[in-house]
């Protein structure tokens, strides 16, 4: 409805135009209002209409003022009430906003800078391992296969065919990997499969370009771990070893390595994707079961083997070992705690040694307990395989187990006070000890529970 439909134009007798409200005019006509008579004054009908119009304007303005005041007060009160809720307060969510905008950017920059600083600090202690070997030089030549048969074929019969013969040897690069320095006097940790060839030579190339001839001090007989040594008079930079038992899934990790044997100290960043993985690693003629290892999505490429997996503090939590060839971003690293004992043994004994008990066994499961009506659903069942069948040998002759009195079908419940289960196998518990350690065994023989004492021996290669 436009304005001209609310007001109509009329011409009073005095000839002046006035806007009169239709509604007011209708009211005057319908109610036939009479102007009041006031002494000394005379109000004409025209003046009455004008007065009523002015009054209506005044009342409208007045009511509008009251209504405005009411709503201003209402919304002011509402604003104060809403301020009680954090998402309406001026500073509400400031902490959350800071994690999404400028401050979060600062945090991201800080993490990025932390990674840069870690790489700068760690790289001098990360080395490339070059594998070389004296290989025969093969040359091609032409020869007459019928030489010496001239009497039969005649002197005019000439035939030359290509052949191959060895002409000395030359040193050639046949492989490579990564390692990292763990002691200032030159001990280097790497994977066993990197230095598996006992006839090869190993050269260490540092990040600064220095070359050192390396000696393989020890190869772990059970794990994919090896320790090398280089000779130098100066103190070398080292990496600090963290406690890998404290690793958490989702934490940031940094892998450094000699990618493809060509790109030294390449860096990749990711997270810990999984823990305590069991995988079988295969490479060339080398195959090994890796138990309890770390899974990460940080890129671990060929040549990264033996390099460090660092946490956000720049400490080593694992040693890069393997990658899944048929998948993306699936790499594996040996927890660094597994290598600490090897390092300590090499420093003390000059070799990596393992304690030896001397039994064949299987871990009892609820299924085996039910099938063979066993008294317990845990422990190491001596002289049995995973199906419960008897093994050819239960106890090794002249072993620590035989000397302690262990027998076929004994169930070792506890070793050095630790309960033996699938998650805590006998082999893992034994690996925590050293040769000559004296250990108590809790053994179930038939219905009798015995306590035996065993002196662990050294495991022979």
DSSP output for 23-63? HHHHHHHHHT--PPP-TT----HHHHHHHHHHHHHHHHHHH
**CA gap 430, 313 in Å, rounded:** 32
What mean pLDDT do residues 165-174 have? 75
Of 123, 128, 193, 342, the catalytic one is 193
- Could you give the CA distance from residue 368 to residue 387 in angstroms, rounded to a whole number? 8
pLDDT at 348: 86
User: Can you say whether residue 401 is alpha, beta or left, with left for phi > 0 and alpha for psi between -120 and 50 degrees?
Assistant: alpha
Report angle CA 173, 174, 180 to the nearest 5 degrees: 85
Kindly state the tokens that stand for 28.
């005057």
pLDDT at 373 over 70: yes
CA neighbor of 289 nearest in space, from 125, 98, 427 = 427
**Where are the chain's structural domains?**
21-86, 113-131+180-350, 355-458
Residues, the chain: 461
pLDDT at residue number 302:
79
| Residues 6 or more apart in contact with residue 18 via CB below 8 angstroms | 10, 12, 50, 53
| Backbone torsions φ then ψ of 186, nearest 5 degrees | 110, 15
| CB-based contacts of 318, cutoff 8 Å, min separation 6 | 244, 247, 253, 293, 294, 296, 308, 309, 333, 334, 335, 336
Per-residue confidence (pLDDT) for residue 130, from 0 to 100:
92
Are the CB atoms for 349 and 332 separated by under 8 Å? Answer: no
CA nearest to 365, candidates 351, 352, 355, 380:
380
CB 269 within 8 A of CB 331: no
Span 348-360, average pLDDT: 90
Q: Active site residue: 123, 244, 305, 311, which one?
A: 305
pLDDT on residue 99: 39
For position 17, what pLDDT does the model report? 43
pLDDT value at position 120? Answer: 93
pLDDT of residue 212: 94
Q: In the chain, pLDDT over 90 holds for what percent of residues?
A: 48
Residue tagged 């065994």 (tokens): 441
**pLDDT, the chain, mean:** 78
Give the CATH architecture of domain 355-458: Roll (2.30)
On the question of pLDDT at 23 being above 60, the answer is no
Q: How many helices (H) and strands (E) does the chain have?
A: 9, 22
Task: Tell me the pLDDT band of 90, cut-offs 50, 70 and 90.
Answer: very low
User: For the domain bounded by 113-131+180-350, which CATH number is listed?
Assistant: 2.40.10.120
| Active-site annotation holds for 151 | no
Could you tell me which residue, 404 or 289, shows the higher pLDDT? 404
What 3-state class would DSSP assign to 382? Answer: strand
- Residue 193 annotated among the catalytic residues of the structure: yes
- With cut-offs at 50, 70 and 90, classify the pLDDT of residue 140: confident
Which of 123, 128, 224, 410 is catalytic? The answer is 224
Hey, is 187 helix, strand or coil? strand
pLDDT at 98: 38
pLDDT tens digit sequence for 242-263: 999 999 999 999 999 887 656 7
Between CA 428 and CA 432 the distance in angstroms is 7
The pLDDT value given to residue 153? 59
Least confident window among 70-84, 345-359, 367-381, 415-429: 70-84
CA-closest candidate to residue 316, choices 209, 179, 196: 179
CA distances for 177 relative to 138, 200, 331, 409, angstroms: 27, 14, 16, 46
pLDDT higher than threshold 90 for residue 320: yes
371 burial via Cβ count (<10 Å: 0-12, 13-18, 19+): exposed
pLDDT for 155 equals 63
Residue 387: enclosing H or E segment and its boundaries? none
- Reply yes or no on whether 42 is catalytic: no
In degrees rounded to 5, what are phi and psi of residue 136? -65, 140
């Amino acid at each position: 409805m436009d304005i001209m439909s609310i007001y109509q134009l009329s011409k009073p007798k005095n000839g002046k135009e006035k806007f009169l409200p239709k509604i007011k005019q209708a009211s005057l006509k319908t109610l036939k209002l009479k102007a009041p008579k006031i002494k000394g004054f005379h109000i004409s009908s025209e003046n009455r209409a004008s007065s009523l119009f002015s009054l209506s304007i005044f009342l409208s303005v007045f009511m509008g003022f009251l209504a405005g005041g009411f709503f201003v007060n209402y919304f002011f009160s509402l604003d104060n009430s809403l301020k009680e809720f954090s998402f309406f307060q001026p500073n509400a969510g400031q902490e959350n906003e800071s994690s999404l905008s400028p401050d979060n950017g600062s945090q991201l920059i800080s993490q990025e800078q932390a990674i840069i600083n870690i790489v700068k600090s760690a790289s001098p202690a990360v080395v490339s391992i070059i594998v070389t070997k004296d290989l025969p030089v093969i040359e091609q030549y032409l020869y007459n296969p019928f030489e010496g048969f001239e009497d039969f074929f005649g002197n005019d019969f000439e035939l030359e065919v290509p052949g191959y013969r060895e002409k000395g040897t030359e040193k050639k690069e046949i492989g490579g990997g990564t390692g990292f320095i763990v002691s200032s006097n030159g001990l280097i940790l790497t994977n066993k499969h990197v230095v598996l060839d006992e006839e090869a030579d190993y050269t260490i190339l540092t990040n600064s370009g220095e070359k050192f001839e390396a000696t393989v001090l020890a190869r772990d007989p059970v794990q994919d771990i090896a320790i090398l040594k280089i000779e130098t008079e100066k103190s070398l930079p080292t990496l600090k070893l963290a406690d890998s038992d404290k690793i958490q899934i989702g934490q940031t990790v940094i892998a450094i390595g000699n990618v493809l044997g060509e790109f030294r100290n390449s860096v990749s960043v990711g997270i810990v994707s999984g823990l305590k993985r069991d995988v079988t690693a295969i490479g060339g003629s080398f195959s090994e079961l890796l138990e309890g290892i770390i899974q990460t999505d940080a890129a671990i490429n060929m040549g990264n083997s033996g390099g460090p997996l660092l946490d956000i503090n720049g400490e080593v939590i694992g040693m890069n070992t393997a990658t899944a060839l048929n998948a993306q971003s699936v790499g594996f690293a040996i927890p660094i705690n597994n290598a600490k004992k090897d390092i300590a043994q090499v420093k003390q004994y000059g070799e990596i040694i393992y304690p030896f008990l001397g039994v064949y066994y299987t871990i009892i499961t609820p299924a085996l307990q039910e099938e063979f009506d066993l008294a317990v659903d845990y422990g190491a069942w001596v002289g049995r395989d995973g199906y419960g069948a008897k093994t050819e040998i239960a106890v090794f002759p002249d072993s620590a187990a035989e000397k302690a009195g262990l027998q076929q079908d004994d169930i070792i419940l506890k070793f050095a006070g630790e309960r033996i289960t699938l998650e805590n196998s006998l082999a893992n518990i034994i690996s925590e000890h050293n040769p000559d350690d004296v250990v108590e065994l809790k053994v179930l023989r038939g219905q009798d529970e015995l306590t035996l004492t065993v002196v662990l021996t050294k495991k022979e290669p």
